[in-house]
A and B are shown apart, each in its own frame.
Chain A
Amino acid sequence: MTDAANEMEPLERVPSGIPGLDAILFGGFLKSGVYIIQGTPGSGKTILGNQICFNHVSGGGRALYVTLLAESHARMMLNLQPMRFFSLAPIPGSLYYVSAFQLLEEQGLSGLLDVVRREVRSHKATVLVLDGLVAAEEVARSPREFKKFIHELQVLASVVNCTMFLLTNGSNNAHPEHTMVDGLLELTDRTLALRSVRELHVRKLRGSACLRGAHTFRITEDGIELHPRIEALLANPSTQDECEPKRTTTGSTRLDEMFCGGLPCGTTTMLMGPSGTGKTTLGLHFLAASTRKEPGLLFGFYETPDRLLVNAQSLGLDLTERVRQGDVEMLWQPGTDDLLDALGGRLLDAVRRRGVKRLFVDGLRGFQMATIYPERLIHFFTALANELRVLGVTTLYTAETSQILGTDVHAPLLGISSIVENLVVLRFVELRTQIYRLLSIMKARYTDYDSSIREFHISRNGIDLADSFESAEALLMGVARPEDLAIFPPRKGTPHSRSDRRK
């Protein structure tokens, strides 16, 4: 026999049709496998089972949904009706619903197996969902008999090329059938403090790698919306790091000069500072430099796109035109109850969809508020930064620091400054009843930079950064008199204005 003849056919995949789930399973379930989906009541098993069926038949497959002790089919369909995946069209032609509970009561596991065999064959089903496995387990006279039933289902699945999903209530405690099946997925629904979170765990998957650990999901009008953990999904970046030695303008000529030619492409820059220092304004400058070749994206949490456009207009930045031309997209995340991985997924989808090269994230706090597990954040941002880098995206984040005035600067997230390549700090300084703004580059990888502190102000012309450190030095030494600030003279009518002094 030749080597080719000796080789076994590779296992085909049966996608669930749920994008996040297929990503976790590296393409879907293995064909003709038998999988248990377990979870407490209300965790989403029935929706998942139905969604798999509907997706399967919409791809040309045929599905059989067998209920044991579960809600009536009519009630189930009424409850599924709001879901976008649901349609009566394939029923009963390619998706058939039957109940086998009475048969199970009358004839036991052998009767159940018999009817499953007959119905799978008569309907030529390539997917079977058996909803209510616990009812079958209760009828079994011993754990051995139940294991035998599962084994016979596996043989049937293999012989008739039908992928089977057995839905059951249950906990993660070991059950005899867990050792038999090809995979075990667990759905949980927990409350942590005031938030409820739904998670899917792949506890077992024969024949395939998978993304392990907990992955959050929601039940929406689209059914199960699963968001793989970003740091698991992007454990390895999706593509090669091209590492082009190009520069991207910050949108401010003087800031570009401080970076000796602009930001290195693909790097992440954090703009840190208290509220009101001008972080968002700098971000708008950055976005306003977007072009067709360098599309921009705002991923914001605070101000609405309309407000930001008005704000940009007041700074002399024509972002409205950039948006109209399609060079800039603004995505606003208003939710206060969002999921961290949903945010990450949404951001990356938007980046990939338009080939974004300039990303402005306003701000870090939006991600912090979305996480259930704060200790994840560093891993999340590391994975995100790595992926954005290989996609050639130059990113600006804003991060608010708590101290409004003063020289202390506390990083908003422990360890974040080690992830970002460039760190720019903005702060307020008070002198003689006036508040001034200062900017400094604290760190820049892959480039030389001007480490001097510069004064800047915000006007109808946007951000105006001093071309030298002198005014900032004078401010910080406390020796500057307002009239000495040649670049930024005090406003007329203030006590220290030159015109007043001449009087």
Chain B
Amino acid sequence: MKTILVVDDEFGIADTLSSILEDEGYRVITAINGEQGLARMAEVTPDLVIVDYMMPIKNGSEMLREMRKIPALSAIPVVMMSAVSEAVVKKECEFTAFLRKPFNLDAVLGVIVRLIGGPSSAPSA
């Protein structure tokens, strides 16, 4: 079963995305900021990371930069989410895909399937 890490400080977004993706058959772990996200990844290596850009303590781009320094995490695809435009966020970091908030379910699932396939496409590491 594929594992997705969802990192978002906003109450409800991480929980809601988690519930929806679990309904789709994915395993989901969540975190509320970049620091927590890295701590979660030290316990479980996800197949995909969906992360919010603007967060307290460690934001999305800071978390992504640290991921790239860790060999076990450097190749994991990262979907960046934000209410601001992709062009603005791209100035700060390189990500695999972008979701503009507020997003709808089709957009989220479309990106996930494109990057890692369905929930049972291949076993997680």
Contact = CB atoms under 8 A, between A and B. Distances in A.
A62 to B, nearest CB: 14
B32 A97 contact: no
Contacts of B83: 73-74, 77, 91, 97
A106 B39 CA distance: 16
Interface string B47-66: 00000011111000000000
B32 A72 contact: no
B88 interface: yes
A96 B56 CA distance: 10
Nearest to B30: A102
Given A72-B102, A98-B9, A101-B11, A92 B84 contact: yes
B71 interface: no
Given A78-B102, A92-B88, A72 B56 contact: no
B56 A115 contact: yes
Given A88-B85, A97-B83, A103-B32, A72 B13 contact: yes
A78 B10 CA distance: 16
A101 B9 CA distance: 8
Interface string B81-125: 001110010000000000001100000000000000000000000
Given A74-B83, A88-B84, A102-B32, A118 B11 contact: no
A118 B55 CA distance: 12
A96 B59 CA distance: 11
Interface in A63-92: 66-67, 69, 72-75, 77-78, 88, 91-92
A99 interface: yes
A32 to B, nearest CB: 21
Contacts of A66: 56
A99 B102 contact: no
B55 to A, nearest CB: 6
Interface in B1-50: 9-14, 32-33
Nearest to B85: A88
Nearest to B102: A74
A390 interface: no
B57 A73 contact: no
A97 B57 contact: no
B9 A74 contact: no
A73 B10 contact: yes
A87 to B, nearest CB: 11
Contacts of A72: 10, 12-13, 101-102
Nearest to A74: B101
B85 A99 contact: no
Contacts of A77: 83
B54 A102 contact: no
Interface in A160-200: none
A203 to B, nearest CB: 30
A470 interface: no
B2 to A, nearest CB: 24
Nearest to A70: B11
Nearest to A104: B11
Among B53, B55, B84, B101, the most chain A Cβ lie within 10 Å of the Cβ of: B84
Contacts of A74: 83, 101-102
A462 B57 CA distance: 76
A73 B102 CA distance: 9
B9 A99 contact: yes
A102 B11 contact: yes
Contacts of B101: 72-74
Contacts of B54: 73, 91-92, 96-98
A96 B61 CA distance: 14
Nearest to B84: A91
A75 B102 contact: yes
A92 B85 CA distance: 10
Interface in A134-178: none
B85 to A, nearest CB: 7
A102 B9 contact: yes
A450 interface: no
A119 interface: yes
Contacts of B56: 66, 98-100, 103, 115, 118-119
A118 B57 contact: yes
Contact of A100 (B9, B12, B102): B9
A74 B102 CA distance: 5
Interface in A93-147: 96-103, 105-106, 115, 118-119
Contacts of B33: 103
Contacts of A69: 11
Contacts of B84: 88, 91-92
A430 B3 CA distance: 95
Nearest to B101: A74
Contacts of B88: 88, 91-92
A118 B10 CA distance: 17
Nearest to A115: B56
Given A99-B9, A102-B32, 7 more contacts: A77-B83, A92-B84, A98-B9, A98-B54, A100-B9, A101-B11, A115-B56
Interface of B: 9-14, 32-33, 53-57, 83-85, 88, 101-102
5 contacts: A66-B56, A88-B84, A97-B54, A102-B32, A105-B11
Closest 4 CB pairs of A and B: A74-B101, A101-B11, A102-B32, A74-B83
Interface of A: 66-67, 69, 72-75, 77-78, 88, 91-92, 96-103, 105-106, 115, 118-119
